[in-house]
Amino acid sequence: MRVPFAGFSAARLREFAPALVLAALVVLLAVSTPGFGTPETLLVVLADTATLFVLGVGLTFVILIGGIDLSIQAVASLSSVVVAMLVPRLGYAAFPAALGAGLLCGLFSGIAHVKLHVPSFIATLAASGVAGGIALLVSGARAVTIGEAGRAYLQWVAGSVLGIPAIILLGAMVLVAGMLVQRYTPFGRYGLAIGAGEAAALASGVRVDRHKMAALAVSGVLASLAGIFLAARMASGSPMLANQLMLPAVAAVLVGGTAITGGVGGVGRTLIGALIVSVVRIGMTFLGVNIFAQQILFGAVLIVAVALTIDRSKIPIVK
């Protein structure tokens, strides 16, 4: 979103803060850990970030309109199970199937939220239950490995192109598509308007209900794309595969600068946020902090990020 240059103000600083933080972290890590600054390591970082980023993009669209999607990890897991189970039998057709599953989950949340007036966090929490339950049922509550034959079909994600992991290229495509949609399409414009002023958008004839449904559907599809990425990297699918990804995804969106109150932020910011989360995770692993302890940090970071970016004038009564 274009904000006119108004000189050096606190708001301007806040806008660039995430990028500055990322730069600082990278420099810090490169200086303190040998081997971090090499191209190989950077590619690994980017590859690790790709899944988180794709997950975050869908979430960004939902948070931009002032909602939240708590179903992303369940949908990603379900998608990985779908891929694992269908690739041996259907080959490439397994992928549209997985995306379709994500779309259905998104529509489920959308209908509950828009038609039944259920708050988005409950609607998506419920969708998470439904998706998780189906994933458990279909997989028998265990990981499903993808055999040799199946793995061939995953090469478009797991392989490399000219030395660059395909997953990074796919992530970049999502980034570009996301930014284009956000900036140049009615979907992007309406999302911004609804998030920044839902009452005014409604009174201007924007079909708010339709948009909200679409945003949740997109989130579902992108979550399932992330699930496909995970399946490819792990060469397996499991109903628990995306556990532990919810918090980093939310952190990526919020730390990147998209406000939980909506109307401010975007896909580009989520990229920076995702990179920050990745770099912090790598840094902590280098320091020997185990993954669960990292959660404490992320929990605190989340709260701080929200405290800083939230627009309190939009919510007179905080619940």
Partner 1 sequence: MSVSSGPSPLALPGRERRALYRARLRAWAPLLVLIGLCLLIDIGNPRFLTIANLVRVATAAAIPLVLALGTTFVILLGSIDLSLEGVLAVGSVLTSLLAANDANSLSFGLAVVPVAVLAGALIGALNGALHVGFRIPSFMVTLGIWFAGVGLATVLLGGGTVRVLEPLVRDVALTRVLDLPVLVWIALAVLLLAWVIQEYTPLGRYMYVIGGGEDIAALSGIPINRTKVAVFTLAGAFYGLGGVMAAAQLGVGNAMIGDGRLFPSVTAVVVGGTSLIGGEGGVLNSLVGVMIVTVLANGLVLLGVSPYLQQAIQGLMIIAAVAVSIDRVRSAIVK
Partner 2 sequence: MLQTIQLSKSFGGLPALRDVDIEIRPHEVVGLVGENGAGKSTLMKILAGVQQPTSGSLRRDGVPFVVHNPREAAALGIGMVFQEQSLLPNISVAENLFLGREAEFTRFGLMNWRRLHAAARRELQRVGLDIDPGRRTAELSFAARQMVELAKALSLEERVRGELVILLDEPTSVLERAEIERLFARVQDLRNRASFVFVSHRLDEVLALSDRVYVLKDGSVVATLPAAEANVTQLHRLMVGRALNAEYYMESDQAPYAPEVVLQARGLGVVGAYRDVNFELHRGEVLAIAGVIGSGREELVRSIFGFLPHTEGELRVNGLAVRLATPADAVAQGIGYVPRERRTEGLVTLLSVAQNITLANLDSVLHGVRIDYGQERTLAEDWVKRLHIRTAGVDMPCGSLSGGNQQKVVLAKWLTARSRILILDHPTRGLDVGAKEEVYRLVRALCRDGLSVVMTADTLEETIGLAHTILVMRDGNVTAVFDAVPGAKPVQLDLIEHMV
- Footprint (CB under 8 A) of partner 2, residues 21-80: none
| CA dist., res. 18 & res. 116, Å (int) | 37
Convert residues 199-218 into a mask of x (bound to partner 2 by CB under 8 A) and - (unbound). xxxxxxxxx-x---------
DSSP 147: -
How far from 273 is each of 62, 252, 288, CA to CA, in Å?
Answer: 16, 4, 22
- Footprint (CB under 8 A) of partner 2, residues 183-202: 183-186, 189-190, 192-193, 196-197, 199-202
Query: Closer CB to partner 1, residue 44 or residue 247?
Result: 247
Query: Closer CB to partner 2, residue 151 or residue 189?
Result: 189
| CA dist., res. 82 & res. 67, Å (int) | 27
Minimum distance from CB of 114 to partner 2 (Å)? 12
> Given the rule CB under 8 A, which residues bind partner 1?
66-68, 112-113, 116-123, 125-130, 132-134, 136-137, 141, 198-199, 247, 250, 260, 290, 292-303, 306-307, 310, 312, 315, 317-319
Q: Give burial (CB, 10 Å; 0-12/13-18/19+) of 43.
A: middle
Q: 148: helix, coil or strand?
A: helix
Minimum distance from CB of 155 to partner 2 (Å)? 32
When asked if residue 151 is in the footprint of partner 2 (CB under 8 A), the reply is no
**Type of residue at 149:** A
SS3 percent helix, strand, coil of the chain, rounded to 5, is: 75, 5, 25
- Check: CB of residue 136 under 8 Å from CB of residue 239: yes
- Footprint (CB under 8 A) of partner 2, residues 252-311: 263-264
| CA dist., res. 153 & res. 165, Å (int) | 16
Task: Report the run of H or E that residue 308 belongs to, with start and end.
Answer: helix 291-309
Query: Closer CB to partner 1, residue 47 or residue 249?
Result: 249
Query: Closer CB to partner 1, residue 137 or residue 176?
Result: 137
# residues near partner 2 by CB under 8 A: 25
| CA dist., res. 60 & res. 182, Å (int) | 10
Pick the piece of the chain touching partner 2 (CB under 8 A) from 1-9, 35-43, 49-57, 134-142.
1-9
Minimum distance from CB of 83 to partner 1 (Å)? 19
| CA dist., res. 99 & res. 103, Å (int) | 6
Query: Closer CB to partner 1, residue 230 or residue 240?
Result: 240
- Footprint (CB under 8 A) of partner 2, residues 3-32: 3-4
Beta-carbon neighbour count of residue 298 at 10 Å?
A: 20
Show the beta-strand stretches assigned E in the chain. 144-145, 160-161, 164-165, 236-237
**Contact of residue 250 among partner 1, partner 2, none (CB under 5-8 Å per partner type):** partner 1
**Contact of residue 2 among partner 2, partner 1, none (CB under 5-8 Å per partner type):** partner 2
* Binding positions for partner 2, rule: CB under 8 A: 2-4, 183-186, 189-190, 192-193, 196-197, 199-207, 209, 263-264
